[in-house]
Amino acid sequence: MKNFRIALVEDDQALTDGLSRLLRGAQFRVEGYGSGQAADAALQHEHFDLLLLDIGLPDLNGLDVLSRLRSRGSTLPVLLLTARDEVSDRVRGLDLGADDYLVKPFAIPELLARIRALLRRNHNLAGRLVHGPLIMDLNAQRAWIGDAPLELSAREWAVLEQLLKNVDKVVSKQQIVELLTKSDATLSFNAVEVYVSRVRAKLEEAGVNIRTVRGFGYMLQSTLAA
């Protein structure tokens, strides 16, 4: 679970500080947000592996943040933290797309166990790659942006799969040539540029950015574009 990035949305600064220290001690990276508006803005442009979301927030409550997140097609795991123990609040949160919830005050070991379970579920599903709203099911050979199917040719699929397996790492043109042609390396670098350009165009509206690293190759960035 080391180095997973967690967005912690909580308006109680003392609780935020305490949870942040705890999570960093457990080898997570943590970004704290004290309001719903700040969290909503960050979730549109940054990559996280898990969202810890308080319901009672100033300016934009947690359920509104959750609703906006899911309306953008994000599959980010969400664990609600709430002082509200009414069944209706919990049901509404789950109906809006929350994956789990904890009622305050909660036991720290339980919080950590639920975080680990959600991260395992989202990142260790065999044959599935997830990046923001983009999902690739390697077993079914299908891809989606949110709920919309993503149509890819065989070579476009191979390019995107390689980039998704190496987020924030440069994939060289030569690596892509070898991937697409196996032993018959007859594909030109110009052809690689065409395939990457086609994939980039299909991902552009979802904010998924393929960066060209001149002289080296291409890189899928973990931070989603605006």
Tokens for 170, please give them: 């440069």
Q: Give the domain-ending residue among 123, 143, 168.
A: 123
CA distance to 10, 41, 50, 69, 78, per residue, from 33 (Å): 6, 10, 14, 15, 15
pLDDT, tens only, 162-176 = 999 898 899 999 999
Residue 123 pLDDT class (50, 70, 90 cuts) = low
Residue 224 pLDDT class (50, 70, 90 cuts) = low
pLDDT, tens only, 66-111 = 999 999 888 889 999 988 666 777 788 889 999 999 988 889 999 9
| Residue 1 scores a pLDDT above 70 | no
Tell me, yes or no, whether 112 and 174 share the same domain.
Answer: no
Q: Is 170 exposed, middle or buried (0-12, 13-18, 19+ CB in 10 A)?
A: middle
pLDDT, tens only, 190-223 = 999 999 999 999 998 888 889 999 989 999 986 6
Tell me, yes or no, whether 96 and 195 share the same domain.
Answer: no
* Count of C-beta atoms within a 10 Å radius of residue 16: 19
Could you say which DSSP state residue 27 is in? T
CATH number for position 183: 1.10.10.10
Domain extent at residue 71: 5-123
Q: Is the pTM of this model over 0.85?
A: no
Tell me, yes or no, whether 12 and 97 share the same domain.
Answer: yes
Q: Could you tell me if residue 68 is inside a domain? A: yes
- pLDDT at 8 (0 to 100): 97
State the total domains in the chain. 2
Q: Could you tell me if residue 133 is inside a domain? A: no
Tell me, yes or no, whether 117 and 183 share the same domain.
Answer: no
Tell me, yes or no, whether 119 and 208 share the same domain.
Answer: no
CA proximity to 199, closest of 130, 150, 142: 150
Tell me, yes or no, whether 185 and 80 share the same domain.
Answer: no
